[in-house]
Structure formats: structure tokens, C-alpha cells
Amino acid sequence: MAREFSRQARLGGQVQRVLNELLRFESKDPRLEGVSVSSVDLSGDLSVAKVYFSTLSPDADPAPVLEGLKAAGGFLRSRLGREIRSRRVPELRFAHDDSVARGFHLSGLIADTAAPESGDDDGED
């Protein structure tokens, strides 16, 4: 039976927190301004971390940010190794999290559907 908070989940949360701090306070790459780590999925053996990131603007092109994260990957992994308590530091693989953009799109669809019709059908002539 799995524990309520597995080691995988605890380490994933710790990796997310540390990466967010590093991106916010220690990154000097202008491509990484306003980037935050939205979630981290660790493999079963804790050797690979899939890091999902989002930007301040949901419509912004994620390609330059992804290039910046890949360029900073060695720095981020070495600093992560100093901060977390684990024998191995997971390999970082970055992916764009488009859930914010999808949320804005769905909110727009709901607002369009819920908005009253603009016709003048009040029955008065």
C-alpha cells in the first residue's frame, strides 16, 4: 500500500520549490524572467525529473524559455544537488505547461456562452 506522501511526491515538491527560488533569485538569463515551475514529475527511481514551467504571459512563445532552461540545466542541477537531500540529483527535462492558456480559453468559452444575447427581444414594439 502506498503511503499518503511518498518519497517521490516529497522530493518532487522540494525540487519544485528549489528550482523556483533559483529561477527567481539567481538566474541571470533574460529569457528566464517571469518563468515559474508549475509542477515536477519524478520517475519511479527518482533519476529523471520532468519539470513543467509556465510564463507570465500565457500567449508567449515558450521556445526561447525552453532554450534558456536547457542552457541553464547544468547550473540548475548542480545547485539543486546542494539543496536537496538525495543520493542522486535527478536529470532535469523541461516541458511547457499550457494549462494556464487552456484555462483562459475555456473561461472565454464559458463567458461567451453565459453572456446574454444582445438582441432586443423584450416583447415591446
- Phi, psi values for residue 60, rounded to 5°: -70, 150
Cell of 16: 519544485
| pLDDT tens, position by position, 40-71 | 999 989 999 999 999 888 778 899 999 999 99
C-alpha cell at 66: 525552453
Structural domains of the chain sorted by starting position, each given as residue range(s) with its CATH number in brackets: 7-113 (3.30.300.20)
pLDDT > 70: percent of the chain: 88
Within 4-56, strands assigned E span 36-42, 48-54
pLDDT digits (tens, 9 = 90+) for 25-48: 999 999 999 999 999 999 989 999
Distances (CA, A) of 98 to 49, 56, 72: 18, 12, 21
Q: Tell which wins on pLDDT, 104 or 66.
A: 66
